[in-house]
Amino acid sequence: MSVPYTAEMLESVKKVEAGRADRIGFEPRRMTAEEKEVILRENHPDYNMDSFKTIEVGPNAGEKAPIELVDLLQANSRVKGMDIDLAHPTYDVDVLIIGGGGAGASAAIEANEGGANVMIVTKLRIGDANTMMAEGGIQAADKENDSPAQHYLDVMGGGHFANVPELVKKLVCDGPSAVNWLDHLGVLFDKDENGVMITTHGGGTSRKRMHAAADYSGAEIMRVLRDEVFNRGIPVVDFTVAIELIKDTEGKIGGAVLMNLETNEIMVARAKCVIIATGGAGRLHYQGFPTSNHYGATADGLVLAYRAGARLLYQDTLQYHPTGVKYPAQIYGALVTEKVRSMGAMFVNKDGEVFMHPLETRDVAASGIIRECKRGNGVPTPLGDGIWLDTPMIDMIHGKGTLEKRLPGMLRMYLRYGIDMREVPIVIYPTLHYQNGGIRITADGMSDIENLYVAGEAVGGIHGRNRLMGNSLLDIIVFGRNAGQQASKKCKSVTLAELTLSHVDQFAEACAKAGIVTDLVSPKLLPDYRRKV
Amino acid sequence: MEEMINVYLYGKKYTVPSSLTIMEAFEYAGYQLVRGCGCRNGFCGACATIYRIKGQHELHGCLACSTKVEDNMYVASLPFFPLEKKIYNIEEIKPTQQIMMQLYPEIYSCVGCNACTKACSQQLNVMQYIAYAQRGEYEKCAEESFDCVMCGICSARCPAGISHPQVALLARRLTGKYIKPEAKHLTERVKAIENGEFDALVEAVMDKPLEELKEMYNTRVIEK
């Protein structure tokens, strides 16, 4: 099979190959704290102030956020002008979970376990979520040389010490029990013949604590959680989206206005507690970046919660995964798991030179790649410049057949387009991957609004200003379960007053007062990729 | 100028660039997808698709997000297929051969036509993993089926009405929970944390002033 690379790329591949043997066993120097600060400031997209603007209305007024997000936060409500009968809800439950990814499913299982009458509504199908696409693994400090305290240090440092300490504490202390819970539900983790979890490094980890299920880690977890939701008979209303939250006249959460995405039917769900588990925002394509995210990742939960009065945290920090696919076009922006680097593949420029350590934290690694391309050392492809990720190193280090066994998803993804990553390096460039910020919560999972819980990527603060690999799968399980447990307890003592959407009107009035005039309607629901004629 | 080819989406002809995936061809043609679109990268199985090249007898199964269009391709998407999912309590069942007989007896009606394997969007040996399930060899079934995205094309093609992805999922959960050895270091660590053995250590780090914490981080020893 001939490799579908241009002649120029193939020339460069020869240089990559020439230095390969010398790279085996060589560890590039890691950057100092000062070097990291400089490289971030000069290259990371979060520092590109032209792409941010100031929020004018609501709890975070005066703070910055990406332009696309600010526009959606301050857009028109989808219920504007509608006459919605809040007194006769279609659904009446204890706990309403919005979102059917890993966090939503974990929350549902625990709320069900806690005896609550719980229901999931999800925009697409249950499991259509970023969880399904998480490839590399899940962190937990369960090895002899590791501890939750060591994990805590890595999380804080990786997040530039901006993380909310009580949330990090919960993340790391509940980590082992989260993995144990999944293990006992039947998730097939990579283990040796004695049952010892096979763990590797991720960018910014000081211990090998990355647990994986090949490179289908998230998919394997999601398949099992979804199966468990079905086994428990938890109702899942799919292809149905929440378009506004409902409160009661005392200011507590009271449910959500739902819309059938296929028929546009409007329904009301009354609930004593609501859990937002709507995930991230990659499909907003901040700064024009491609994304590794799921089709439904449009920050809907942030818009709903913000309009209802919940404060956001670190809404101005995004994660650009260093290794998105740069070439070929069909998988442009798709994720190349960090595990490829955990297993030894290095970044190499067009001249065959290693220019940085492969396992710096994601923000630093992404900045390093952007800088190397700016310096003119990028690999030219028909879609722009990228950097080689020297994947043939993996089998050279660990033995033939390793890549196929440990990275089957990656291998398959590239083989579909005639590229055998065991034989030739692949071209990567940063891709919009993760919403570091989100809705502020306390350690019990609750937002500023009474009985409104948040879990998963929609939460802000756990990861500070940068998340480490493997802490997202961990966070959706830890905080998903936590939200489900807390809500199932809390709902027993909740008495709802009359339901109202007055907060939506108030927010619209505030926007009008601030002089915001827009045709835009939010939440966005889905991106539009139709050809613009 | 990009090379253009003809594809037939639900039988209707559209001319699209030859570099597109089937999913992108739908969007290029003007479809705003709701169903049949998920991760857009081959992991979620939302975009199961069946196609045939005009003039050829063979039917192909694929994922629309990860398959390039071809000239004269006739495409039907299969955004939902009624798989049969049996309800069970994972805590109560055991990895015996009987459990498959109880929950998915139709696997024993397999006629060996291999249509499932031929249709698999992941190129898995589906018929083989069903054979393992029949024999109660769940670990082998789990390994053989591991990359399944549960798109359901296999089941759409099965004359015996088998829900292959559900059978495989049960086998994997049985393997993960009951057959693979226990991770003792994990259960012990969970117990230690529950007993508060790490509380002091964590609190000590949390109590550090920021500058000290930064120094700890910057000088921490990284496992080789």
pLDDT digits (tens, 9 = 90+) for A97-127: 999 999 999 999 999 999 999 999 999 999 9
Average pLDDT, stretch A49-66?
97
Confidence of residue B119 (pLDDT cuts 50, 70, 90): very high
Instruction: Using an 8 Å CB-CB cutoff, list chain A residues near B185.
Output: 142-144, 196-197
- Mean per-residue pLDDT, B86-108: 97
pLDDT band of A327, cuts 50, 70, 90:
very high
Are B218 and A33 spatial neighbours (Cβ–Cβ below 8 Å)? Answer: yes
Query: Please, which residues have CB within 8 angstroms of residue B12's CB and are 6 or more apart in sequence?
Result: none
Buried b (16+ CB within 10 A) or exposed e, A273-293: bbbbbbbbbbbbbbbebbbbb
Per CATH, is B4-77 categorized as 3.10.20.740? yes
Q: What pLDDT, in 10s, does the model give residues B175-202?
A: 999 999 999 999 999 999 999 999 999 9
CA distance A364 to B140: 41
Is residue A471 within a helix (H) or strand (E), and if so which, with residue range?
helix A471-490
Across the interface, of A161, A196, A412, the residue whose CB is closest to B183 is A196
Model confidence at A11: pLDDT above 90: yes
> Is the domain defined by A77-317+436-500 classed in CATH 3.50.50.60?
yes
The residue count of chain B comes to 224
A295 and B20: CB-CB below 8 Å? Answer: no
Using the CB atoms, write b or e for B140-175: b if 16+ within 10 Å.
bbbbbbbbbbbbbbbbbbbebebbbbbbbbbbbbbb
Nearest CA to CA, how far is B219 from chain A (Å)? 10
Q: Do A152 and B202 touch (CB under 8 A)?
A: yes
Q: What is the pLDDT of residues A274-301, one digit of tens each?
A: 999 999 999 999 999 999 999 999 999 9
Predicted pLDDT at A136: 87
Q: Is B186 an 8 Å CB contact of chain A? A: yes
Task: Read off the pLDDT of residues A427-448 as tens digits, 9 standing for 90 and up.
Answer: 999 999 999 999 999 999 999 9
Averaged pLDDT, A71-97: 97
Q: Which residues have a Cβ under 8 Å from the Cβ of A514 and sit 6 or more positions away?
A: A56, A57, A74
Asked whether the ipTM of the predicted complex exceeds the cut of 0.95, the reply is yes
What is the rounded radius of gyration, in angstroms, for the C-alpha atoms of chain B?
24
- Mutate one of B43, B62, B125 to test the A interface: name it (highest A CB count within 10 A): B43
Name the A residues in 92-121 with CB < 8 Å from any B CB.
none
Rounded mean pLDDT, A329-343:
93
φ, ψ for residue A175, nearest 5 deg: -60, -60
Type of residue found at A292: S
Give the CA distances from residue A60 to residues A40, A426, A457, B53, in Å, rounded to whole numbers and listed in that order. Answer: 25, 41, 19, 55
Widest CA span of chain B, in angstroms? Answer: 74
C-alpha to C-alpha distance for A244 and A258, rounded to whole angstroms: 7
Amino acid making up residue B152? G
In terms of C-beta density within 10 A (0-12 exposed, 13-18 middle, 19 or more buried), how is residue A396 classed?
Answer: middle
Q: Is the pLDDT of residue B1 over 70?
A: no
Instruction: Tell me the catalytic residues of A.
Output: 321, 341
pLDDT number for residue A532: 87
Task: For residue A9, give the 3-state DSSP assignment.
Answer: helix
Query: Could you state, in order of their start, the residue ranges of all structural domains in chain A?
Result: 7-30+320-432, 77-317+436-500
pLDDT at residue B187, rounded to an integer? 97
- Alpha carbon distance A275, A484 (integer Å): 8
Residue among A176, A185, A408 whose CB faces B147 most closely: A408
B122-155 pLDDT tens trace: 999 999 999 999 999 999 999 999 999 999 999 9
Instruction: Quote the minimal CA–CA distance from A404 to chain B in Å.
Output: 12
What pTM does this model have?
Answer: 0.97
Q: Which of residues 100-159 of B touch A (CB under 8 A)?
A: 122-123, 142, 146-147, 149-150
pLDDT score, position A2: 81
| Model confidence band, residue A155 (pLDDT cutoffs 50, 70, 90) | very high
Collapsing DSSP to helix, strand or coil, A376 comes out as: coil
Confidence of residue A254 (pLDDT cuts 50, 70, 90): very high
Q: Residues A142-152: what's their mean pLDDT?
A: 98
Query: What is the average pLDDT value for chain A, to the nearest integer?
Result: 97
The beta-carbon neighbor of A165 closest among B90, B173, B206 is: B206
Residues of chain B with CATH 3.10.20.740: 4-77
pLDDT at A1 over 60: no
Contact list, A128 vs chain B (CB under 8 Å) = 38-39, 44, 46
- Chain-centroid distance, C-alpha A395: 29
Q: For residue B69, which of B15, B124, B2, B149 has the smallest C-alpha distance?
A: B15
Into which CATH architecture does domain A7-30+320-432 fall? Alpha-Beta Complex (3.90)
pLDDT at residue B24 tops 80 = yes
Q: State the Cα–Cα distance between residues A270 and A95, nearest whole angstrom.
A: 9
What does DSSP say about strands A312-313 and A438-440: parallel, antiparallel, or unpaired? antiparallel
Chain B residues inside the 8 Å CB shell of A191: 180-181, 183
pLDDT band at residue B2, thresholds of 50, 70 and 90? confident
Q: Which two tokens stand for residue B68?
A: 């390039």
Range list of H helices, A29-123: 33-43, 67-73, 102-113
Structure tokens at A220: 């394997």
Mean pLDDT value across residues A219-229: 98
Of the pLDDT bands very low, low, confident and very high (cuts 50, 70, 90), residue A135 is confident
